[in-house]
């Protein structure tokens, strides 16, 4: 436990190899880091063909993609803005995954968090910022957690599979938002103007998350997310609760014999997952939109799952992974503008990237195994 | 409320419910095969979208609905095999590769639509076919036996799927591979082949599910036509306890409640529409919660098979 | 090294011929493995192994855990390709790409971990992968019929319609053998087939094996139990660290010599020193509980175990041992009766409460219930105590303290492992068992429940584990030893209880407990009935 | 930090549009996209008017990034074609004082000198459609379908209800909302439900047109009234009339204002009176003369203010 080893993590595995047998196995490291990059490249190559078919110049397009995301400070900042909710969602996904629970419900949990945050910040707008902002964050976390707790409870007590319940809870959350934005929470100004746009009243300035870079959307939520990532890492590998949660995920049977209440920890994992997704909703409201509006989730509930995978389901890995995935989204938009291709191309590319990367992970694992075998053989001969 | 339970209303509900259930049935039955063999495919929605587009595109340009259906099946197969390649051969984390497939299908179907069709067009899809005799039954005839062939197909697929899974040697292999791949492998059953076949079949059915939307039920294609129905379909597989009959029950429950809530909006105006719309989702969860649910999922579900382990 | 094979020149094209024909001939070589080399990450599992079997003989394969027995056999069955060496079937070199090839060549394998699909019926398990007479439909009736005739012929009674999960271990093994016979296997590999069987079942199995050998089947028999090996086989080959260290004729070799070949040192018998027992530590009063197969698994079990004694629980598998163990672990609801732990009523206590009350537990399914295979050795050592004051404060783990303790335990219970961070799955079963033992015993339990503590474990490790159990007894722990291995029961127990169909037949002091007497009780025959 | 826009009087006028949905959505985004094409053609093509677009920007931060990006590239007019973009416009506009920003549909310019706002009085066309519908229905039952009752979907419906009531109070209007913008299958069943409930006329927000028309086709004898774009193409024989948003006028006004040095501060509203809203009568459906004249009367009344489309 002093050296956490997510089973999935090729990276940390290769690191462990190094710990055991000097000289360091740089090959494994390279494989762990290089292959995903290679996979992305391969996916973009396929994308290049699509671009050609669309009559766009792939070079120009990808120049725009990379430049737009990483070439300018605006791009970098924009990537960080997107990375923030991605990271928060990913953290929740990771916790659930570690307990062997698949959480497809992040979309609904984001909405729950955003709804609660908006309601709370407006209801208690009289409070001073230093009190209002943290309280709102908590409210949103609680709402998201509740949205994850329900499937958790259903799974623990009634054996209702979480994939089914989380999918349904997503739809319910969406309708709940429609309901509230259609009347109870709609911006009075919209009613007055007779435009009836489905968005809440704008939050008072003192309820906003402070800006990190003035005149950009980069807000304190980014720092919060990174701190929480470290916290989740600590929780999973340095606390007894985290240990039990992972034990439940690895072997429910053994966990039961060890006196660990398995259902309780499955429930906990989904509740925490919901809470983190809820936080993603909060920071989007307090940091970016400053109000609740349709499409608040921007699909982060799904892309967060991908970010979690890119981070090898490790909380710390999820930090760079979320940023990379965020910049991919930003760069893709820039590309769309630069060569004026349909935005659907962006989704297509992302899908390809995901498929190639998940695929490459296995190749990496196998290469490492082969190297290990080779080493073993030598030792075997010697021994 | 009372007027909700008059005969014409109930007939209307049944009629709409049966239509709504069709795509769910195809997709969920396909996913049942995949999951029974141990593959969790969350990308069903993406496959449905590709199927829906291909069917629409081919039908639009050739004028042949059957060619369109065939195209949907073939494209669905390819998408299914792509999923198989990533999850079986490359042993990817299935919960995630499925999401990737979904993104890919959603993006590509929209992209192709934009570049080849451009704007929303309608076609005349599969027309209702009155079944001889049955179609003339007083009331039942109108509800049950005046649908398009794709609707009948979905309901015929249920007993067929049951027969294959429970009564044939293929089904035996599928069940064994999903439950205890090592055992099947030790008897010379090709685990990989069985899983590829089931994931491929799941793709074909998902493709047809999409086609049933675009060339039988709505007769058009637009971006994200399925609006997440593929995910509901996956949920219904769990609801049905991996049994075709259970899936049928789930699909009918969900669809009938959906049809019911539409009528409720019409007949009970004071009822908030947004609440009515929640009903199918709420009731599906509730139904599963109260039903004593003993069925266990296939033991090897979402677990890649590695010879010589454990 | 000496070989008994007279006709090493093969009779070409001789696949399963009429039994009589083969039975009379001497030693026709069915299979020969030459210079087999197999590597795994970090392990040279087979280092140039030569091995052969003749028609009509039982050839035993001996060796400690991790010696390379299963690996060798898995290659013969086409599960892994050898890195080097060749396999000759009836003199013809074969390369197997999958079990399908091996099956076609008339090879069958009874795996150490049964290869059955619990959710399918016996007939379905047998039919799996075979062509049906009415493809694509199944022909289970036909299968069942053939199955019954086979069962008759070899005395392997099973109900073709029963689901595997409903069967006792012994019955499941019969299904495994029937699967091989049904496919017309003429060479059958049995990897630790007796590890899970009771004396009666072993006798039954041996009768079957002799019959099969008599008909000219070639049999490979793997076991850690020397007396069984000597009883059933004609030839014995011993593996150590992937090398053949000897081949002997079963007639001309003793246990001691074999043991020495395997372990590489003298293996001494157990010192059975008397310990005086204290008060009752664990008491069961008329405990009843549901069984897995709907029927009542425990029908009023009453037992009392004293400090410093080993109470052995003997019985044929599936007579309530597992239910009893689970009730004591707090994983199965007790429907009636009481369980007292050190006088305290724990009938409905959670597993955790029992742990804290000083109860330790060695589960039967060690890989499933006793350890987590993707957790490190260190993590596995702390399944119970990760939250104990010394190792966690305010829920935060004290990893240094944990390392220290883990290192000490690995050392003291000499668990062979590359390091504390090694995933448990890379350890041999024997070492995994030692690790579990280390975890449970190091907690100075007041009560220890040990279920099949040495199943599938080699004699070296067995010897060690037995010593540890006795040491614990000497330290005053009350031990409930649940075992289907009579030798083990007799070797360790102060008193022996026999369980039959969920009820205790009798409790005998070690003095009065003869294998014969126990055998009758295990079969449900009361002492007086026997006369 | 904001870059200073570089408008070269010689070169073409440069406009960028950021849209939430696809340029082919048969509705909101498409209406603006086509208007831009029209304006471009009128002004003399690429050389006179350069026009870039970003569609599918349902994610507001992406939209904000796009606006900032276009402004940085020196576009003269950046149109944020989505009411959810308000906050972003507020953020970006101050950094680019030489660039005009337009935000719709809404009526708030935030009091900024370089922000225009534009909206559509959808209730006007709704009222006119309502008048015609009330005269054409035989069953005296009308069905309304749509995803969610908000925005101009709501204002259109309010106007429609009012128009019907003003013409024939005895008519029943049933409404269903499916809660999803893309679930056409459900919208189709919603239409089926209305028809089964006796409706012989359907209308509703643009997203529901395709489903409704599909159902109407199957049944026959059921008519449709459209809004936002001319929907006759989908089923000429069934579409009685559509209220069409025509942004051409607004866009041209804003361009003119910009070139004249007024970078913002004004609100434009599409109305029947300024020809921003038009009633396009179905091409394949022969409208009875009396209904037609009643519609024209309603249009005139709304134009001169004698008729209030909303109660
Ligand atoms: N699939 C595998 N991957 C890696 N190493 C393996 C694998 N299978 C076996 N080994 C290693 O090869 C060696 C021999 O294993 P094998 O199963 O042949 O031992 P065995 O004689 O069957 O032991 P036991 O008596 O416990 O069954 C062991 O050290 C084991 O760790
Ligand atoms: N994937 C693997 N990696 C490393 N070692 C393995 C692997 N699979 C099996 N082994 C090791 O191979 C040896 C024998 O493999 P097997 O599957 O027979 O375990 P086992 O026979 O249950 O051990 P035992 O019989 O002693 O309980 C054991 O040491 C086991 O730990
Ligand atoms: Mg073995
Ligand atoms: Mg073993």
Please state, for a pLDDT cut of 90, what percent of chain A lies above it. 49
Domain count, chain B: 1
pLDDT of residue C496: 94
pLDDT band, residue C529 (cuts 50/70/90): low
Tell me if D87 and A82 make a contact (CB, 8 A cut-off): no
**DSSP label at residue B168:** B
How far CA A288 is from CA of A279, B275, D20, D68, in Å, comes to 13, 29, 17, 15
Q: Render the burial of A310-320: b for 16+ CB within 10 Å, e for the rest.
A: bbbbbbbbbbe
- Same-domain status, C285 and C369: yes
CA nearest ligand 1 atom 9, residue = C71
- Same-domain status, C54 and C163: no
Q: Which residues of B touch D218 (CB under 8 A)?
A: 128
pLDDT beyond 70 at D6: no
- Same-domain status, C319 and C446: yes
Average pLDDT of the segment spanning A51-64: 90
Residues near ligand 2 with C-beta < 6 Å?
Answer: B 309; C 65-66, 70, 112, 425-430, 456-457
- Same-domain status, C102 and C236: yes
What is the CATH number for C88? Answer: 3.40.50.300
**What is the rounded CA–CA span in Å between residue C472 and residue C479?**
8
* B69 contacts chain D (CB < 8 A): no
Whether residue A159 is contained in a domain is answered as: yes
- Chain B segment 290-309 residues within 8 A of C by beta carbon are 299, 307-308
Tell me if C40 and A376 make a contact (CB, 8 A cut-off): yes
In 3-state terms, what secondary structure has residue D223?
strand
Low-confidence ranges of chain B (pLDDT < 70): 1-2, 292-294, 308-310
pLDDT tens column, D232-248:
887 888 899 999 999 99
Average pLDDT of the segment spanning D179-191: 87
Considering only residues D170 and C275, tell me which one the structure prediction assigns the higher pLDDT: D170
pLDDT of residue B2: 66
What is the CATH number for B188? Answer: 1.10.3470
Whether residue A110 is contained in a domain is answered as: yes
pLDDT band, residue A23 (cuts 50/70/90): very low
Token pair 């991919």: residue:
A328
Domain count, chain A: 1
Of A54-58, C199-203, C363-367, C382-386, the poorest mean pLDDT is in C199-203
- Same-domain status, C427 and C383: yes
Instruction: Quickly count: other Cβ atoms within 10 Å of residue C17's Cβ.
Output: 15
How far CA A163 is from CA of A99, A280, C283, C489, in Å, comes to 14, 21, 45, 48
- The yes-or-no reply on D/C contact (3 CB pairs or more, < 8 Å) is no
Query: pTM of the predicted model, to two decimals?
Result: 0.88
- Chain A segment 346-375 residues within 8 A of B by beta carbon are 346-355, 358-363
Tell me if B101 and A355 make a contact (CB, 8 A cut-off): yes
pLDDT band, residue A27 (cuts 50/70/90): low
- Same-domain status, C391 and C508: yes
How far CA B231 is from CA of A276, B46, C151, in Å, comes to 22, 10, 48
pLDDT tens column, A182-206:
888 988 888 887 778 888 998 999 9
* B261 contacts chain A (CB < 8 A): no
The interaxial angle of helices B149-167 and B191-212, nearest 10 deg, is: 160
pLDDT tens column, C104-159:
999 999 987 889 999 999 999 999 999 988 888 999 999 999 999 998 888 888 99
Among candidate residues A276, A303, A279, A296, the one with its CA nearest the CA of residue A177: A296
Among candidate residues D118, D15, D114, D121, the one with its CA nearest the CA of residue D70: D15
Tell me which of C183, C215, C235 is where a domain ends.
C183
Give DSSP secondary structure letters for B70-136: HHHHHHHHHHHHHHHIIIIIS---HHHHHHHHHHHHHHHHHHHIIIII-S--B---PPPEEPTTGGG
pLDDT tens column, D49-61:
999 988 888 777 7
The interaxial angle of helices A318-339 and D60-72, nearest 10 deg, is: 50
* D179 contacts chain B (CB < 8 A): yes
Give DSSP secondary structure letters for A114-142: HHHHHHHHHHTTTS-HHHHHHHHHHHHHH
- The yes-or-no reply on B/D contact (3 CB pairs or more, < 8 Å) is yes
The shortest C-alpha distance from B299 to chain C (Å) reads: 10
- Same-domain status, C192 and C309: no
Whether residue B306 is contained in a domain is answered as: no
Average pLDDT of the segment spanning D292-298: 95
Q: Which ligand is nearest to the CA of C457?
A: 2
- Same-domain status, C88 and C144: no
- Same-domain status, C177 and C141: yes
pLDDT beyond 50 at A4: no
Starting at the earlier edge strand, list the strands of the sheet with D267-270.
D49-54, D13-18, D77-81, D100-104, D115-120, D267-270
Q: Which residues of C touch A373 (CB under 8 A)?
A: 39-41
Give DSSP secondary structure letters for C381-408: HTTTGGGSTTTEETTEE-HHHHHHHHHH
Pairing type for strands D223-228 and D239-245 reads: parallel
- Same-domain status, C207 and C247: yes
- Same-domain status, C423 and C314: yes
Mutate to test the interface with B, among C73, C119, C179, C426 (most CBs of B within 10 A): C119
What ranges in chain A are assigned the alpha helix state H?
10-20, 26-53, 58-66, 73-98, 106-123, 129-158, 162-182, 188-193, 221-238, 240-250, 252-257, 262-283, 300-310, 318-339, 344-382
pLDDT tens column, C264-274:
766 665 555 66
Asked whether C452 lines ligand 1 (CB < 6 A), one says no
Domain count, chain C: 3
Tell me if B218 and D193 make a contact (CB, 8 A cut-off): no
Whether residue A288 is contained in a domain is answered as: yes
pLDDT of residue D282: 87
Nearest Cβ partner for A20 among C47, C386, C419: C419
Whether residue B245 is contained in a domain is answered as: yes
Neighbouring residues of B296: CB distance < 8 A, sequence distance ≥ 6: none
Whether residue A267 is contained in a domain is answered as: yes
Tell me if D108 and A189 make a contact (CB, 8 A cut-off): yes
pLDDT beyond 70 at C477: yes
pLDDT of residue C530: 47
Among candidate residues D165, D162, D159, the one with its CA nearest the CA of residue D140: D165
pLDDT of residue C2: 37
What H or E segment, with its residue span, contains residue B186?
A: helix B181-186
Nearest Cβ partner for B110 among A176, A178, A347: A347
**DSSP label at residue C368:** I
Residue B243 lies in domain: 2-294
Whether residue C405 is contained in a domain is answered as: yes
pLDDT beyond 90 at D290: yes
Tell me if C79 and B307 make a contact (CB, 8 A cut-off): yes
- Same-domain status, C91 and C167: no
Average pLDDT of the segment spanning A8-36: 45
Contact A45, A297 (CB under 8 A): no
Residue C234 lies in domain: 23-106+186-263
Whether residue B303 is contained in a domain is answered as: no
Residue A94 lies in domain: 87-318
């Amino acid at each position: 436990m002093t050296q956490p080893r997510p089973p999935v993590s090729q990276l940390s595995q290769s690191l462990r190899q190094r710990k055991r047998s000097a000289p360091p196995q740089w090959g494994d490291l390279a494989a762990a880091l290089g292959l995903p990059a290679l996979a992305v490249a391969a996916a973009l190559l396929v994308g290049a063909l699509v671009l050609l078919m669309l009559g766009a110049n792939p070079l120009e397009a990808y120049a725009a993609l990379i430049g737009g995301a990483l070439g300018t400070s605006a791009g970098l900042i924009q990537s960080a803005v997107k990375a923030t909710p991605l990271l928060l969602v990913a953290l929740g996904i990771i916790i659930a995954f570690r307990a062997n629970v698949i959480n497809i419900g992040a979309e609904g949990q984001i909405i729950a968090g955003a709804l609660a945050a908006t309601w709370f910040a407006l209801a208690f707008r009289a409070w001073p910022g230093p009190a209002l902002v943290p309280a709102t964050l908590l409210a949103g976390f609680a709402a998201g957690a509740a949205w994850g707790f329900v499937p958790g409870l259903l799974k623990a007590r009634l054996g209702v599979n979480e994939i089914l319940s989380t999918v349904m809870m997503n739809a319910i959350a969406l309708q709940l938002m429609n309901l509230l934005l259609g009347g109870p929470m709609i911006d009075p100004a919209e009613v007055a103007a007779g435009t009836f746009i489905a968005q809440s009243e704008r939050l008072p300035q003192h309820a906003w998350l402070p800006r990190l870079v003035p005149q950009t959307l980069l807000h304190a939520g980014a720092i919060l997310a990174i701190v929480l990532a470290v916290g989740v890492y600590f929780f999973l590998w340095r606390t007894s609760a985290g240990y039990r949660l992972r034990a439940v995920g690895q072997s429910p049977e053994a966990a039961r014999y060890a006196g660990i209440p398995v259902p309780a920890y499955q429930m906990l994992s989904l509740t925490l997952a919901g809470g983190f997704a809820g936080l993603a909703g909060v920071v989007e409201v307090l940091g970016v939109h400053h109000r609740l509006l349709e499409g608040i989730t921007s699909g982060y509930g799904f892309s967060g799952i991908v970010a979690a995978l890119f981070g090898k389901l490790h909380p710390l890995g999820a930090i760079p992974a979320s940023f990379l995935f965020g910049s991919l989204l930003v760069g893709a938009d820039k590309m769309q503008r630069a060569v004026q291709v349909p935005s659907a191309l962006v989704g297509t590319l992302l899908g390809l990237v995901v498929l190639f990367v998940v695929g490459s992970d296995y190749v990496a694992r196998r290469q490492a195994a082969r190297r290990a075998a080779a080493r073993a053989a030598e030792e075997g001969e010697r021994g | 409320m009372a007027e909700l339970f008059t005969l014409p209303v109930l007939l209307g509900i049944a009629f709409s419910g049966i239509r709504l259930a069709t795509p769910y049935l195809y997709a969920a039955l396909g996913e049942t095969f995949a999951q029974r063999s141990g593959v969790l495919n969350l990308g069903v929605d993406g496959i449905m979208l590709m199927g829906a587009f291909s069917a629409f595109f081919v039908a639009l340009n050739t004028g042949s609905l059957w060619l369109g259906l065939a195209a949907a099946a073939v494209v669905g197969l390819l998408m299914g095999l792509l999923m198989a390649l990533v999850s079986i051969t490359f042993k990817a984390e299935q919960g995630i590769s499925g999401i990737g497939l979904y993104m890919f299908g959603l993006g590509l179907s929209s992209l192709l639509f934009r570049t080849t069709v451009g704007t929303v067009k309608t076609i005349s899809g599969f027309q209702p076919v009155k079944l001889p005799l049955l179609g003339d039954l007083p009331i039942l005839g109108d509800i049950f036996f005046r649908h398009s062939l794709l609707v009948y197909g979905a309901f015929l697929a249920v007993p067929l799927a049951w027969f294959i899974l429970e009564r044939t040697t293929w089904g035996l292999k599928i069940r064994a591979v999903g439950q205890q791949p090592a055992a099947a492998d030790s008897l010379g059953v090709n685990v990989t082949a069985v899983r590829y076949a089931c994931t491929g079949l799941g793709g074909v059915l998902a493709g047809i599910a999409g086609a049933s939307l675009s060339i039988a039920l709505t007769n058009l294609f637009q971006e994200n036509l399925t609006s997440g129905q593929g995910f509901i379909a996956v949920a219904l597989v769990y609801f049905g306890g991996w049994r075709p009959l259970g899936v049928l029950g789930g699909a009918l429950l969900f669809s009938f409640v959906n049809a019911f809530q539409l009528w409720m909006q019409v007949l009970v105006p004071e009822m908030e529409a947004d609440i009515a719309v929640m009903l199918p989702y709420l009731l599906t969860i509730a139904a599963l919660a109260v039903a004593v649910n003993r069925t266990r999922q296939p033991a090897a579900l979402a677990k890649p098979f590695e010879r010589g382990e454990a | 090294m000496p070989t008994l094979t007279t006709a090493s020149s093969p009779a070409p094209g001789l696949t399963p011929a009429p039994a009589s024909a083969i039975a009379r001939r001497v030693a026709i070589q069915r299979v020969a493995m030459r210079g087999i080399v197999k590597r795994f990450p970090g392990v040279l599992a087979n280092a140039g192994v030569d091995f052969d079997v003749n028609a009509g003989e039982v050839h035993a394969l001996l060796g400690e855990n991790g010696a390379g027995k299963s690996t060798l056999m898995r290659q013969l069955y086409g599960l892994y390709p050898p890195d080097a060496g060749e396999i000759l079937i009836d003199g013809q070199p074969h390369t197997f790409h999958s079990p399908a090839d091996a099956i076609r060549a008339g090879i069958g394998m009874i795996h150490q971990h049964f290869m059955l699909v619990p959710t399918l019926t016996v007939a379905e398990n047998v039919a799996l992968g075979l062509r049906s007479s009415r493809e694509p439909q199944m022909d289970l009736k036909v299968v069942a019929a053939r199955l019954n005739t086979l069962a008759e012929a070899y005395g392997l009674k099973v109900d073709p319609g029963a689901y595997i999960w409903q069967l006792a271990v012994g019955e499941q093994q019969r299904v495994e053998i029937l699967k091989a016979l049904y496919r017309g296997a003429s060479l059958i590999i049995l990897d630790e087939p007796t590890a899970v069987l009771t004396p009666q079942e072993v006798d039954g199995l041996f009768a079957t094996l002799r019959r099969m050998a008599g008909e000219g089947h070639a049999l490979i028999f793997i076991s850690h139990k020397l007396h069984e090996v000597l009883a059933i086989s004609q030839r014995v080959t011993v593996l150590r660290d992937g090398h053949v260290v000897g081949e002997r004729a079963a007639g001309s070799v003793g246990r001691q010599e074999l043991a020495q070949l395997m372990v590489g040192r003298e293996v001494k018998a157990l010192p059975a020193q008397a310990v005086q027992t204290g008060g009752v530590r664990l008491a069961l009063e008329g405990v009843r509980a549901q069984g897995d197969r709907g029927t009542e698994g425990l029908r009023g079990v009453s037992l009392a175990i004293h400090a410093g004694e080993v109470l052995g629980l003997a019985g044929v598998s599936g007579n309530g041992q597992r239910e009893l163990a689970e009730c004591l672990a707090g994983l199965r609801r007790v429907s009636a009766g009481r369980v007292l732990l050190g006088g305290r009523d724990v009938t409905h206590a959670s597993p955790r409460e029992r742990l804290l009350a000083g109860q330790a537990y060695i589960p039967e399914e060690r890989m499933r219930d006793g350890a987590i295979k993707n957790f490190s050795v260190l993590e596995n050592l702390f399944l119970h105590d990760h939250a104990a004051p010394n190792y966690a404060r305010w829920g935060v783990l004290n990893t240094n303290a944990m390392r220290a303790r883990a290192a000490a335990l690995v050392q003291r219970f000499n668990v062979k492992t590359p390091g504390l961070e090694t995933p448990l799955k890379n350890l041999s079963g024997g070492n995994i068992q030692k690790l579990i033992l280390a975890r449970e015993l190091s907690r100075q339990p007041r009560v220890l429940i040990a279920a099949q503590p040495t199943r599938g474990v080699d004699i070296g490790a067995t010897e060690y584990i037995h010593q540890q159990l006795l040491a614990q007894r000497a330290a005053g722990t009350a031990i409930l030893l649940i075992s289907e291995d009579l030798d083990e029961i007799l070797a360790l127990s102060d008193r022996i209880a026999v369980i039959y169909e969920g009820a205790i037949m009798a409790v005998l002091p070690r003095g009065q407990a003869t294998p014969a007497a126990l055998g009758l009780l295990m079969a449900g025959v009361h002492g007086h009935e026997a006369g | 930090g904001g870059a200073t826009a570089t408008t070269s009087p010689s070169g073409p006028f440069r406009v960028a549009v950021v849209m939430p949905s696809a340029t082919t959505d048969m509705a909101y985004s498409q209406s603006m996209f086509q208007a831009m094409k029209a304006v471009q053609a009128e002004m003399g093509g690429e050389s006179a008017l350069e026009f870039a677009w970003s569609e599918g920007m349902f994610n507001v931060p992406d939209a904000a990034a796009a606006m900032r990006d276009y402004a940085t590239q020196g576009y003269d007019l950046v149109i944020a074609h989505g009411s959810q973009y308000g906050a972003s416009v507020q953020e970006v506009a101050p950094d680019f004082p030489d660039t005009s920003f337009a935000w719709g549909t809404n009526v708030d310019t935030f009091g900024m000198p370089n922000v225009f706002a534009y909206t559509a009085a959808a209730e006007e066309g709704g009222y006119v459609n309502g008048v015609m519908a009330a005269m054409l229905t035989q069953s005296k039952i009308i069905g309304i379908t749509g995803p969610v009752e908000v925005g101009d979907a709501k204002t259109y419906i309010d106007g429609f209800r009012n128009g019907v009531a003003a013409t024939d109070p005895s008519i029943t209007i049933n409404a269903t909302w499916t809660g999803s913008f893309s679930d056409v299958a459900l919208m189709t069943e919603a239409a089926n439900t209305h028809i089964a409930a006796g409706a012989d006329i359907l209308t509703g927000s643009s997203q529901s047109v395709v489903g409704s028309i599909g159902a109407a086709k199957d049944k026959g004898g059921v008519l449709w009234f459209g809004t936002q774009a001319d929907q006759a193409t989908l089923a000429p024989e069934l579409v009685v009339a559509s209220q069409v948003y025509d942004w051409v006028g607004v866009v041209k006004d804003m361009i003119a204002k910009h070139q004249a040095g007024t970078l913002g501060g004004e609100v434009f509203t599409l109305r029947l009176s300024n020809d921003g809203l038009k009633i396009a009568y179905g091409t394949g459906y022969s409208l009875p003369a009396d209904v037609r004249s009643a519609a024209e009367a309603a249009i005139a009344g709304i134009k001169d203010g004698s008729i209030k489309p909303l109660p």
